[in-house]
């Protein structure tokens, strides 16, 4: 299914989602974008809708989702933009969403997330960032596998972050039961999990012609930073940090992974700035960590996740 050749494109750091989608025809395709009511989720959905896809915004706040859907329809002329409730931290909500989905699914964009939050837990005792960013999307994707398989050549987009460089998945204490909670480390762990999911989903679901890839959208000022102070944001902008992007630029790599013909049959890769990323270098803020692409860690995380969801 995959090739060993690294994927390169004509797009770059400043390319927008609309640049990437130009010339792509998604008429007859169905897509889901989680967190599609704000930030890069809206712009990802807008680009897919502009190419003719039917798009469902899976959101915690349906009113905000409907406002976004109306805006997308207004700018693209595509009236096949729907809204459905989804709270990734609530497994009952995920199960309801899956149960209500009918028919094939061609593109699943796992975009929603929380970042550097104070220590919070789900009713199951799961650390909230891991539960939302990874487990919620894991349950959604595995629940929708039949719909993805039915489409023939489905793609899963797993939105990760350069923050994955902050932490591998610490299997001995994923839920911070024995170690001190640190918001950025916990976020990093969840973002590594997003990469590992794409690696293992592509391997496990190859016979269903399903591919999954992960990506770093870039640094973008959105609601994702609701728990981050201005002082902390300034610190993140300092030093050798890459330039910040607009939301339209931030959605570009998601759209590339979701829709570019260059990625037909390609899975288990990590992208940034619309290119397949190089290995991360010590002390750097770009590239992909070896531990995030480790097939043994990916298989282990899949088993751990499955066991957690079984309760």
Residues with catalytic function? 187
For residue 309, give the nearest of 170, 97, 142, 60 by alpha carbon: 142
Cβ–Cβ < 8 Å for 158, 137: yes
HEC string of 49-71? HHCCCEEEEEECCHHHHHHHHHH
Note every long-range contact of 45-48, with CB atoms under 8 Å and residues 24 or more positions apart, other chains counting.
45/72, 45/81, 45/109, 46/17, 46/72, 46/75, 46/76, 46/251, 47/17, 47/18, 47/20, 47/21, 47/251, 47/255, 47/259, 48/21, 48/107, 48/109, 48/255, 48/258, 48/259
Q: How far apart are CA 209 and CA 217, in angstroms?
A: 25
Cα–Cα distance, 207 to 150 (Å, whole number): 12
| Nearest Cα to Cα of residue 160 among 102, 207, 199 | 199
Alpha-carbon span 191 to 18, nearest angstrom = 26
Cα–Cα distance measured from residue 45 to residue 80, given in angstroms and rounded to the nearest whole number: 11
| Phi then psi dihedrals of residue 58, to 5 deg | -95, 110
CA distances for 255 relative to 251, 260, 299, angstroms: 6, 7, 27
User: Is 18 strand, coil or helix?
Assistant: helix
């Amino acid at each position: 299914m995959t090739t060993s050749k690294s994927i390169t494109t004509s797009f770059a750091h400043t390319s927008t989602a609309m640049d990437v989608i130009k010339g792509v025809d998604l008429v007859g395709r169905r897509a889901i974008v989680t967190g599609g009511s704000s930030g890069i989720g809206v712009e990802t959905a807008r680009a897919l809708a502009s190419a003719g896809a039917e798009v469902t915004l899976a959101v915690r706040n349906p009113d905000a989702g409907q406002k976004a859907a109306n805006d997308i329809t207004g700018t693209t002329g595509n009236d096949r933009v729907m809204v459905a409730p989804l709270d990734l931290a609530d497994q009952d909500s995920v199960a309801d969403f899956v149960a209500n989905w009918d028919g094939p699914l061609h593109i699943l964009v796992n975009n929603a997330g929380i970042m550097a939050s104070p220590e919070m837990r789900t009713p199951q005792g799961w650390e909230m960032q891991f539960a939302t960013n990874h487990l919620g999307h894991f349950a959604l994707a595995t629940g929708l596998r039949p719909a993805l398989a039915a489409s023939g050549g489905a793609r899963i987009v797993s939105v990760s972050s350069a923050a994955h460089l902050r932490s591998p998945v610490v299997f001995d204490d994923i839920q911070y039961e024995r170690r001190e909670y640190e918001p950025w480390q916990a976020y990093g762990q969840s973002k590594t999990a997003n990469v590992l999911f794409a690696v293992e989903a592509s391997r496990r679901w190859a016979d269903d012609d399903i591919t999954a890839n992960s990506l770093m959208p870039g640094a973008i000022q959105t609601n994702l930073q609701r728990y981050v102070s201005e002082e902390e944001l300034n610190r993140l902008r300092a030093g050798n940090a890459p330039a910040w992007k607009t939301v339209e630029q931030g959605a570009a790599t998601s759209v590339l992974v979701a829709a570019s013909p260059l990625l037909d049959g390609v899975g288990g890769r990590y992208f940034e700035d619309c290119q397949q990323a190089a290995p991360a270098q010590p002390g750097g803020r770009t590239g992909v960590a070896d531990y995030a692409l480790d097939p043994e860690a990916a298989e282990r995380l899949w088993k751990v996740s499955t066991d957690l969801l079984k309760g």
